[in-house]
Amino acid sequence: MSAVAPRVVITGYGIVSPLGNSPESYWNALRQGHSGVTALGPPYEFLPTKVAGQAREFTGDIANFGEMEKTLQRTVKKGLKLMCRDIQMGVAAGQLAINHAKLSTGSSDPQVQRERIGVLYGCDHILSIPEEFVDGIKACLNSEGKFDFSLWPEKGLPKVDPLWLLKYLPNMPACHMAIYHDLHGPNNSLTVREASSNMALTEALCTVARGSADVMIVGGTGSRIHTSRSVHLALQEQIAVGEVNETDPLAAGRACRPFAADRSGMVLAEGAGAIVLETEAHAKARGAQVLGTIVAGSSAAVADSRGVPNFRRAFEIVIKSLLRQTGLSATDIGHVNAHGLGTISCDQQEAEAIEAVLGPEVPVVAAKSYIGNLGAGGGMVEAIASLLSLQHGELFRTINCEQRDPACRINVVNRPGVAPGRCFINLNITPQGQASAVLIGDANFG
């Protein structure tokens, strides 16, 4: 007879977001309907958009990483020079989650079973910033001021930081967290764009459920704000230009309008989130507070032979998979935290999938209306928004959707006072049609 899989619970979370770097500031903004999307300033003023969801409170200072024992603080501070902003945000979110969960990883604690604690992160494919190569390029200019490739090995390359690549590898958030806390359990990194966070949560759930770890620190970090990548995105995807009006400080915050009739595209943003998962038995043994229950996860990729994605079909598959795995019916789902990208096609197809599988009445919210598209970090930060709703007994509303698109026949929550239910589905998808989803319940769910 096979062993019964353990119940996997959530005991802590941490965030770095356009709405602040604490659950309290995040929830207060969501509850009050305050957007984190603001005017985009230097060095991004040349980008083809006027607004973005910048994590302005995150400066990369060691103080952003929360309270740490002195030795660990010195180690992390020293390592910051080997991290680009995406990785710094991911490590900070992970550290904040460990603190929030009151999880002891100190080297002097004999109760810590390091081989039973793992780390798993979703991370974007990170591009270097042009500034990394400026000095090297300058050293290779000939007498006419043109770049001479033949000079690069001798004069250009020595000007490049020999460790520059470590600053941009997408596996580094998980590596840093494991190294800093001397964790010997399963360690992995997923780079699946916007689908990364939910897929990381799903793999972590499976890792704990099959007995390979007692605790998993699961993170997601990413950014759509970049001096060169943002230009690529604008050429390939529907980007909301947004509006900056000195007489109307709230104008920028109306740029991301999921499911609205006048939506105009996604809003570039940055941020990171992390969640601590552990077996219920392990959480009880150490006296941890259970904040939620992760029940199931799923993923699917659907595109035709030409690479054209079918968002609706991908969303339908992952939602049906969650219901099948859990034995729940559509009426059991308290709410859906939609991908809600704000583009014409993706929003409509997502709405069609939700309506087809769960019906037109299930409450639907979109955290992106507040923060924009955080890339690989979005799913984690969005899941934490719904977790906070479960804990506070009130669902945050979707802002900027006063006039819903008639083609999106779903119950978009745009008013306060709606109950979140006892569980929710968190949805995300990539432009290529890779969908991912998780089903999370309250502390006593299941």
Per-residue pLDDT averaged across 98-106, rounded? 91
For residues 289 and 254, give the distance between their C-alpha atoms in angstroms, rounded to a whole number: 37
243 or 351, which is more confident: 351
pLDDT(253) > 80: yes
Q: What is the structure's pLDDT at 110?
A: 66
- Residue 136 in domain: no
- Residue 186 in domain: yes
- Contact criterion met (CB below 8 Å) for 44 and 230: yes
Reading the block at residue 57, the tokens are 């409170």
Each residue's pLDDT tens digit, 163-172: 888 999 999 9
Domain with 125 in it? 8-129+168-441
Each residue's pLDDT tens digit, 194-232: 999 999 999 999 999 999 999 999 999 999 998 888 888
pLDDT(107) > 80: no
State the pTM of this model: 0.95
Q: What is the structure's pLDDT at 230?
A: 84
- Residue 141 in domain: no
Each residue's pLDDT tens digit, 309-355: 999 999 999 999 999 999 999 999 999 999 999 999 999 999 999 99
- Residue 156 in domain: no
pLDDT(44) > 80: yes
- Residue 411 in domain: yes
Per-residue pLDDT averaged across 3-28, rounded? 95
Each residue's pLDDT tens digit, 282-291: 999 999 999 9
pLDDT(234) > 90: no
pLDDT(109) > 80: no
- Residue 348 in domain: yes
Q: What is the structure's pLDDT at 2?
A: 47
Q: What is the structure's pLDDT at 1?
A: 35
Q: What is the structure's pLDDT at 108?
A: 60
- Residue 401 in domain: yes
Q: What is the structure's pLDDT at 3?
A: 66
Each residue's pLDDT tens digit, 399-434: 999 999 999 999 999 999 999 999 999 999 999 999
CATH number at residue 69: 3.40.47.10
- Residue 356 in domain: yes
Mean pLDDT of all residues in the chain?
95
pLDDT(281) > 70: yes
Domain count, the chain: 1
